[in-house]
């Protein structure tokens, strides 16, 4: 997984983020895997937000 710099993150389109407020960037498979691993530790997210993030990350893994 390539590390995202602040400039890289700003340049990503809105649809590259799965969570609220541009959280959980998922531009590639590595970030999709990381999102799935970090999701149980995420605080302040509702169960529906977590389900949404999980579905986007899983779809990205299938697409790429």
Residue 64 has pLDDT above 80, yes or no: no
pLDDT, average across residues 56-64:
91
Task: Give the pLDDT score at 2.
Answer: 80
The sign of the CA dihedral 44, 56, 28, 5 is: negative
58 touches 52 (CB < 8 A): no
Alpha helices (H) along the chain? 6-11, 29-38, 47-63
Q: 7-43 pLDDT, tens per residue? A: 999 999 999 999 999 999 999 999 999 999 999 999 9
């Amino acid at each position: 997984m390539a590390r995202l710099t602040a400039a890289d993150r700003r340049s990503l389109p809105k649809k590259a983020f799965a969570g609220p407020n541009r959280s959980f960037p998922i531009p590639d498979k590595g970030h999709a895997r990381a999102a799935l691993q970090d999701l149980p530790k995420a605080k302040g997210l509702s169960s529906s937000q977590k389900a949404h993030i999980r579905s986007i990350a899983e779809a990205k893994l299938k697409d790429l």
